[in-house]
Amino acid sequence: MPVDDRRTFEIDGTTYAVRIPKVQDIKEANELRSRTFNEALSRGDLLRDQLESELRKRSLWNDNREMEYQTLRREVLDGEYRLEKGGCKLSSARHTALEMAEKREKMVELLSSRTDLDSNTCEGKADAARFNFLFSCCLVYDEDDEPYFPNKLDDYLESQDDPVAVKGATEYYYLISGADDLDSNLPENVFLKKFKFVDENNRLVDSDGRLIDGEGQHIDEEGYYIKWDKSGNSIQVDANGRKVTDDGKFDVKSSPFLDDDGNPIDTSQYEEEKPKPKKRKPRKKKVVVEETEAEAEEADAVAETEEVEAEADAEEVEAS
């Protein structure tokens, strides 16, 4: 199979691949798309033709957003023209390229509400079902081409958070759309890579190939600020270049504060006193009074006498 017909990636030491779908896969995926579309339509879901009016109804799009989007689009085109024409300082051209990248990101952000709503249209749901089915068929183990999801879509829907599935879906999207090639071929990225302002992953670097942010400050792979010394070692710093520890605290030796005469202040008087634990009151012991045998007999005799007297009174009442 040609290299362009598959993409490989590795997770935890195992190599996986996504391949181009087979004819039978595409046939089944198209049938699923049709069913999904008809089901969504019968439920009354939105069609793409209704998207514009629905966005405006929900205040997700308006004339101001449209104007902002078109302005950014024109500015990006102007940047492409300047990069193509040349004749300016390389540093100025670099600034133009970085601005173009920022403006493209803003354009994507502006369209995010449209994209989110589109995924809920009849066509959006049908396209998603087709993509998921094809991906579930095309994710395989690179070693023997055995399917990662033996039961195809059913298995994938139960394991969408699986790291292999997450990475594989991205690789499959790149495989069938060539999106990563599109990004690499954007005029600003072509310029930045040509003059080595970015690395192979389109991350900004300095003249020595070390990672930097948009302001030119050095960062590590996780995006934390760092500072390089002459020996080629780096330390973690804050945005102002001050050394910090791994937990983000300043790596400095603390000194006592001084009074107006320059003498160290005794801070013990400012320390909060810890509340003393409350003394627990001793519990009172319950006194249980036990009846003696004689007292019990006396109580029984009194009760018996009272019972006899009550019966005598009752007989006297009946006789009268």
Nearest Cα neighbor of 172 from 128, 119, 134 is 134
Q: Where are the domains of the chain?
A: 3-189
Per-residue pLDDT tens for 18-37?
999 999 999 999 999 999 99
C-alpha span between 6 and 141 (Å, rounded) = 12
Question: Any bridge partners for residue 18, and if so which?
Answer: 7, 139
C-alpha span between 169 and 187 (Å, rounded) = 27
- Taking the CA atoms of the chain, what radius of gyration do you get in angstroms? 40
Per-residue pLDDT tens for 201-260?
889 999 989 999 988 899 988 888 888 888 888 888 888 888 888 777 888 888 889 989
> CB-based contacts of 111: which residues, under 8 Å, 6+ apart?
69
Q: What is the pLDDT along the chain (320 residues), one digit of tens a residue?
A: 344 689 999 999 999 999 999 999 999 999 999 999 999 999 999 999 999 899 999 888 899 999 999 999 999 999 999 999 999 999 999 999 999 999 999 999 999 888 888 999 999 999 999 999 999 999 999 999 999 999 999 999 999 999 999 999 999 999 998 877 778 889 999 999 999 999 988 899 999 899 999 888 999 888 888 888 888 888 888 888 888 887 778 888 888 899 898 899 888 777 776 666 666 666 655 555 555 566 666 666 666 666 656 666 655 555 55
Other beta carbons less than 10 A from residue 207's beta carbon: 7
In SS3 terms, 89-147 reads as: CHHHHHHHHHHHHHHHHHHHHHCHHHHHHHCCCHHHHHHHHHHHHHHHHHEEECCCCCE
The predicted pLDDT at position 2 comes to 40
The predicted pLDDT at position 12 comes to 93
C-alpha span between 11 and 168 (Å, rounded) = 10
The predicted pLDDT at position 59 comes to 87
The predicted pLDDT at position 1 comes to 39
b or e along 35-62 (b: 16 or more beta carbons within 10 Å of the residue's beta carbon)? ebbeebbeeebbeeeebeebbeeeeebe
Other beta carbons less than 10 A from residue 137's beta carbon: 23
Question: Any bridge partners for residue 10, and if so which?
Answer: 15
